[in-house]
A and B are shown apart, each in its own frame.
Chain A
Amino acid sequence: MGYVFQGLALNIVQALLLLAFAPLIAGVINKVKAFLQKRQGASVLQEYFDLAKWWKKPTILTPYTSIIFVVAPAVYFITSFLAASMLPGFLAGQISISDAFIFVYILALGRFFMCLSSMDAATAFGGMGGSREVYVSVLVEPAVMLAILINSLRYHSTTLSGMVIDYDGAYFTVSAALACVAFFLVILAENSRLPVDNPDTHLELTMIHEGMTLEYSGPLLTLIHLGSMLKVMVFLTLFGALYLPLAVPLAVKILFGAVLIGLVEILNNKMRLFKVRVYMGAAIVLLLLAIIAE
């Protein structure tokens, strides 16, 4: 029994570690983007200061919102945190609670609550953001499932830890290369980055994820932002652990993924909303090819 508790504790330690570094990775992405625009940019630590600032601010609730509005950010954050604890362990001795399907749908639960809350305040921008988020997630979900299926086929396991590629032996197969590219496209769509969504915009009419958060302030807003940053971290970790066929330490892989996101965001502009299905279609085709190659 003792080792179960010890394993669970390690899972939580792992999630806390990812949480602690999530704002740093967000800062790195912003710095890369600034650098590529020949701007000096904010410090890589800026996201920590921002989170602290939002935390200190009061929460303003409109009288028209229900309990959903308050609960949703907490659910969103907790689901991100759970997902982080389910990642294939980089600390020895964790227990495996990490079935891939549970992982995917725990994240979906968080998103579901955010979509609910976006409609709760009954503002036009929130509702539009929520409906677009559902549209994007409907397209993203099959891609994520396919990406997981590739690894299940290869390792005959549906647990995330069972799928982890051998860190030491880099392997280059056609299937791995295709899956790597496709999963990166999925990361961008899943985390509301360019070219699917624009995390930096102030134009409410174009927003997807940001549109849902417009009515939030104070600690609730902090939770949403922290949850989003953690989600990026979770996907980058998964990308590094499962899909990036390079024989380097995981931390380097995560950093590499962050730089890649910054680079892609500079090279791209936002696509037409209805073109997202073409974009996700491309990712799905790549994954299907990868499965055939496997």
Chain B
Amino acid sequence: MQQVVSSEELLAAALQVYEQGKHPLTAMFGRDETLNGAGYAIYCCFEVPEKRDVHIVKGVFSAEGPLSYESLTHAIPAAAWYEREIHDMFGLVPEGHPDLRPLVLHESFPEDFHPLRKSVAVNAKVRGERKFKIRTAKGQGLFQVPVGPIHAGIIEPGHFRFSQAGEAMLQLDAKLFFTHRGIEKAVEGKTPEEALHIVERICGACSVANTWSFCQAVEKAAGVAVPRRAEIIRTLLSELERITNHVGDLGNMPAGVGFNPAISLGSRLKEQLMRLCEAVAGNRFLRGVIVPGGVRQDITPELIEHIHEVMDATAQGVEDLAAMFREQENFQNRVRTTGIIRNQTAKDLAMVGIGARASGYAHDSRKDFAYGVYPELGFEPYTMTMGDVAARLLVRIGELSASFEMMDKLLDMLRNCHGMELKVELTSGKGEGWGICESARGSNFQYVALDNEGRIDRLFVRSASYPNWPALTIAVQGDIIPDFPLINKSFELCYACIDR
């Protein structure tokens, strides 16, 4: 449901819906409606799981009034990054924000450049000298360790600044968003079908989750229901993507401690799964299957049997991997009590996915929003309470066995599903909607507003890594710096997801 208030009332209205954290802030974004005869607007999206709905509080700015509002961050800590991003992108100032440094636009952008304003052209060329002050701790004997943005491994750019007292990490500041791609700007004016190809490529690890939440939003805007067979196939792809990512992450975590046999087994299993993805979708990242209105291709009976075989082999491999972790005392010693996120921290930051569930916060969109055919699968979120690296490892293993069970059921459903219809046509026209899909890292939220011709007026993408990145800087406090790679890998956060 959507509730429209003025920008002055935004804080009060938001707090009323928030109910001291009962309804977490899932996303917050701005929108420029000046071309539609209105002003700017800020959307605060709160999850209301008991209604399986997202409550959107829309704070509108009058066309002549001031472009500032009372910051939500003091009452709702999860709003901190969103408000900084809105400040960068639209120039809307949150009064009283504790840390209003630029988030997305680094030094090379000019001070008063706000790219998501409609008055800025998509191909605008700018050069600037903005200030970006990295946060450090100062004191006698303290020193700093700068890491990145270019790393030793082949990964994406991010700068980490550690303030150290010997080996102990006192403070970590992460400077991310190095390769902002302007995706939300680029899709404006495109039809959903055109935008799909871009949305699908936001991130390599959760292309199904991104595409599915985008399609949910578009379908909600158009008011159509998806055929059952398409829903089954979408759910199956989503679980396949989760299994591939979880197995890859499980194989990647031991690399943080040099546990070689587990790394090898993990990469072997992941490669098998990516080949399966190629057999299913024609590419290793499951792109090009999910489209607005349904799916583009079917899963044939032969493919069903092939998926079944690979799942059995993978389940056995994951069992072996779990046994390796369990029996290696030295490994257990590394992962236990390392990188702890407390339950309250997870809730305050509105964390999602593995990071939340390992801290006893049972946040899972598959249960909360019951999209696709998840309600029929008897799914329950898997949680641990310790909040350390070991808990995040065990949650992945627990979720994998749940996913294998669901895959079995999904394959059976496909075998018994007689409706062969895969896709419905969408009528194009004005509308807006949101979509949510649980990726391997947590819930991906998207919001789409279509104009009168059915073209995209505003797309907002909030992937799972966005709310979890700030948690990383909290998890490391009290640990020693050689444990950082392990803690980092236990979250497995994505740079591309936030560089959208």
Q: Indicate which residue in B152, B259, B264 contacts A39 across the interface (CB closer than 8 Å).
A: B264
Whether a CB of chain B sits under 8 angstroms from the CB of A92 is: no
Is there contact, CB below 8 Å, between B484 and A269? no
Is there contact, CB below 8 Å, between B260 and A33? yes
Residues on A with C-beta less than 8 A from B484 are: 205
Return the CB mask of B325-352 against A: 1 if under 8 Å, else 0.
Answer: 0001011011000000000000000000
Residues on B with C-beta less than 8 A from A269 are: 254, 257-260, 328, 330-331, 334
Smallest CB-CB separation from B160: which chain A residue?
Answer: A205
Residues on A with C-beta less than 8 A from B268 are: 38
The size of the chain B interface, using a CB distance under 8 A, is 30
Q: From B18-26, B215-223, B475-483, give the one contacting chain A.
A: B475-483
Whether a CB of chain B sits under 8 angstroms from the CB of A138 is: no
Is there contact, CB below 8 Å, between A266 and B260? yes
- Residues of chain A from 195 to 213 with CB closer than 8 A to chain B in the complex: 195, 198, 200-206
Is there contact, CB below 8 Å, between B261 and A272? no
Whether a CB of chain B sits under 8 angstroms from the CB of A57 is: no
Shortest Cβ gap from B373 to chain A (Å): 38
Is there contact, CB below 8 Å, between B257 and A270? yes
Q: Indicate which residue in B328, B334, B482 contacts A205 across the interface (CB closer than 8 Å).
A: B482
Is there contact, CB below 8 Å, between A37 and B264? yes
- Alpha-carbon distance A39/B256, docked complex (angstroms): 20
Residues on A with C-beta less than 8 A from B144 are: 124
- Alpha-carbon distance A269/B486, docked complex (angstroms): 12
Is there contact, CB below 8 Å, between B485 and A205? yes
Interface centre among B167, B263, B482 (most CB of A within 10 A): B482
Is there contact, CB below 8 Å, between A37 and B485? no
Residues on B with C-beta less than 8 A from A133 are: none
Is there contact, CB below 8 Å, between A194 and B480? no
Residues on A with C-beta less than 8 A from B146 are: 124
Whether a CB of chain B sits under 8 angstroms from the CB of A273 is: yes
- Alpha-carbon distance A249/B389, docked complex (angstroms): 47
The size of the chain A interface, using a CB distance under 8 A, is 28
Whether a CB of chain A sits under 8 angstroms from the CB of B417 is: no
- Residues of chain A from 250 to 294 with CB closer than 8 A to chain B in the complex: 265-266, 268-275
Return the CB mask of A185-201 against B: 1 if under 8 Å, else 0.
Answer: 00000000011001011
Whether a CB of chain B sits under 8 angstroms from the CB of A128 is: yes
Smallest CB-CB separation from A206: which chain B residue?
Answer: B482
Residues on B with C-beta less than 8 A from A61 are: none
Known pairs A202-B152, A203-B152, A268-B330; A273 contacts B260 (CB<8 A): no
Whether a CB of chain A sits under 8 angstroms from the CB of B132 is: no
Shortest Cβ gap from A100 to chain B (Å): 32
Interface on chain B toward A: helix, strand, loop, or mixed SS?
A: helix
Whether a CB of chain B sits under 8 angstroms from the CB of A134 is: no
Is there contact, CB below 8 Å, between A202 and B334? no
Is there contact, CB below 8 Å, between A198 and B147? no
Is there contact, CB below 8 Å, between A273 and B167? yes
Is there contact, CB below 8 Å, between A265 and B482? no
Interface centre among A39, A269, A270, A275 (most CB of B within 10 A): A269
Residues on A with C-beta less than 8 A from B333 are: 271-272, 275
Residues on A with C-beta less than 8 A from B330 are: 195, 268-269, 271
Residues on A with C-beta less than 8 A from B483 are: 272
Is there contact, CB below 8 Å, between A128 and B481? yes
Is there contact, CB below 8 Å, between B331 and A206? no
Known pairs A205-B484, A205-B485; A198 contacts B258 (CB<8 A): yes
Residues on A with C-beta less than 8 A from B480 are: 272-274
Shortest Cβ gap from B439 to chain A (Å): 26
- Residues of chain B from 255 to 273 with CB closer than 8 A to chain A in the complex: 255-261, 263-264, 268
Shortest Cβ gap from A281 to chain B (Å): 15
Shortest Cβ gap from B153 to chain A (Å): 5
Residues on A with C-beta less than 8 A from B331 are: 269
Smallest CB-CB separation from A124: which chain B residue?
Answer: B145
Shortest Cβ gap from B457 to chain A (Å): 44
Whether a CB of chain B sits under 8 angstroms from the CB of A36 is: yes
Shortest Cβ gap from A245 to chain B (Å): 28
- Alpha-carbon distance A270/B483, docked complex (angstroms): 11
Q: Which residues of B contact A (CB under 8 A)?
A: 143-147, 152-153, 167, 254-261, 263-264, 268, 328, 330-331, 333-334, 480-485
Q: Nearest 3 pairs between A and B by C-beta? A: A269-B259, A198-B258, A37-B264
Q: A33-B260, A200-B258, A268-B330 are in contact. List 13 more A-B contacts (CB 8 A).
A: A37-B263, A124-B143, A125-B145, A128-B167, A195-B330, A204-B147, A205-B147, A265-B260, A266-B260, A266-B261, A269-B254, A271-B330, A274-B480
Q: Which residues of A contact B (CB under 8 A)?
A: 33, 36-39, 124-125, 128, 194-195, 198, 200-206, 265-266, 268-275
A-B contact pairs, 13 of them (CB 8 A): A37-B263, A128-B481, A203-B255, A205-B484, A206-B256, A268-B330, A269-B257, A269-B260, A269-B330, A270-B259, A270-B334, A272-B480, A274-B480
